[in-house]
Structure 1
Amino acid sequence: MEEAAARLRVEDLESRIAELTGRLEVEREAWSRLLVTRETVAEVLAEISEAGAPVGPPQEATAPEGSSEPVRMVGAIMVPRWREGLWVDVLPDVYRDIVEIIADATKPIQAKQIAPWIGLPAVTAKIEGTRGKLKRLVERGWLSEERPGLFALAHPAPKPGEWLQLPER
């Protein structure tokens, strides 16, 4: 009796493991496709950015013949490459918030520290999304990655008193 009950429990667990393994494979495949898609989109957007294509908010396009409704074109949110004289206000809101948080920090900080400051829960998915934004800001020259996972301003603003260096008398 006891042996039969143990065998049934083992068979039940094996069945559940097989079902979960199948579901895991399906989800891994979906995840893999999403990663490839994200990387492809990032490459295309980088090429567009490097080509100097204007990027901005969605714009009205001319309607197709025979239609009186305007067509909305979807614009891409782009992070421009940093250059001298470029202000943080050219960045999309969340990127601007990230740069401002890092500018206020006294030392390099991690994605998990930034996520709550930009209104995201400190869960893995949101932290990884934030890390992706940080990496993009590093790639575009706004931030530097001091050590793996520690981010700081790439071009810190002068400290008070450094704006104008007067010679001592």
Structure 2
Amino acid sequence: MVSLPEELQAREAAARQRVEELQAEAAELAVRLERAREDLSRLEITRETVAQVLADLSAAGAAPDGPAHDVPDSEGTSAPHGIGVMAVPPWREGLVAQVLPDVYRDIVEIVADAPGPLPAKQIVPRIGLEATTAKIEGPRGKLKRLVERGWLDEDAPGRFTLARHGPDAGRVNSR
């Protein structure tokens, strides 16, 4: 049989060990918290800097006498300086689906090959995703963007077809 003082010493040792383990965890969490705060601070500064640069560019673009922010393009001519890239350009005569990023091009080709309007839930499996609600929302946004930029039409809510343009309305624009 164990004596009461020995039992108390054993429990005290176990409690001391648990306190030390928790202190070590707290120290690790403090380090992780500090890293997360540094990341947050850098992101806030970056966002503020980008907002300021965009505001400056916008103000310079609005001022007719302001200095031009031009950079040479690959052919040596001047092109306006902009922030970001438009992944889905607006459709215009002569533009083909090959100019679109892969997933957008796949969507346009799927819709072009369809016999009629397609809902997003029928397009999603054809681009390699599960037809679950969570997986449908991203492609639905891409479909809406393609509609906004003139590549697709949304004849009925949520049903997408290839956009009809001018006399060649029935021709697939991915060729």
As a proportion of its length, which structure holds more helix?
2
Greater RCO, CA 8 A, separation 6+? 2
TM-score (norm 2): 0.47
The TM-score normalised by the length of structure 1 is 0.48
Report the structure number with the largest CA radius of gyration. 2
